[in-house]
Structure 1
Amino acid sequence: MTDRRSAERRGRVAETGAAWWLRLKGWRILARRVRTPVGEIDIVARRSGLVAFVEVKSRATDAELDFAIDERRLARVAAAAELLAPRFLQPNDDMRIDVILIAPGRRLRHIENAWIG
């Protein structure tokens, strides 16, 4: 149980860091940790007519990040984004699925348009 709580805490810290990074890049955070019946979106952000549904992954090492996200996980994020799109998109907005990867001592990696489904 302690490992699970620790992982949950690390995840929240990573999501907070990712949200701050997005703000510095000109994004406005619309929501965090939005749950749907098909999955959770870590961050929903808007910038210039674009809404990004962002999955944040944190791992202990940079090498582990290469395996942190896969097609199955991205499909779940995409399904959740589809459900949430009417809530966050305005007319003529575009949307995309992004991934932010974080490892201690490493530069944050932002993968734009990670899901093209």
Structure 2
Amino acid sequence: MDKSGNMIDKMLTQNGLVYKIPNKVAAKQGPAFLQKQRSGSVAYTQGVAAEQQACHWLEQDGWTVLLRRARTHRGEIDIVASKAAVLCFVEVKKRRSIEEALVSLQPAQQRRLFRAAECLLQKHPYWQYEEMRFDLFVFDNAGKMERLEDILRQM
């Protein structure tokens, strides 16, 4: 709804004809929905910034960033990097505290990471590596960062 309490309409143009479509979702959801949408946008922006910081750190440490936000039909890998004969799949977590970030990598997401990595390895058979690992970068709201190397092992 807009400030006057009227339902907001969207316009759809198709083949030169204009149709009004009531935005029933926004009208039903109200202020709580909009607040959650805004906070989600802030979290997304902070997550992208944390990924950028992780890339910067990796590059400063001699790593080559091969891919960022690599999407597959089985999941997404935040960063893929290589250094010497090591291929590293990196997950980045940004939370209020380091502790929250550390526990946020749940088993279901770990499985998605493995599956996404398998897809990326099939898609990029030319990647040269002798060792492959998964690292985790965690950030808190104060800007503190911790890196955990080789955090996942396939069972």
When normalised by structure 2's length, the TM-score is 0.69
Q: How many residues align?
A: 117
Q: Which residue of 2 aligns with 1:95?
A: 132
Q: Can you give the 5+ residue segments of structure 2 that lack an aligned partner in the other structure?
A: 1-36
1:50 touches 1:94 (CA, 8 Å); kept in 2?
Answer: yes
**1:84 matches 2:135:** no
> 1:1-117 to 2 correspondence within 5 Å?
1-86=37-122, 87=124, 90-105=127-142, 107-117=144-154
Out of 68-77 and 41-50, give the one that drifted further.
68-77
1:41 touches 1:54 (CA, 8 Å); kept in 2?
Answer: yes
Out of 44-53 and 107-116, give the one that drifted further.
107-116
Q: Which has the larger radius of gyration?
A: 2
Identity over the aligned pairs, expressed in percent? Answer: 32
When normalised by structure 1's length, the TM-score is 0.90
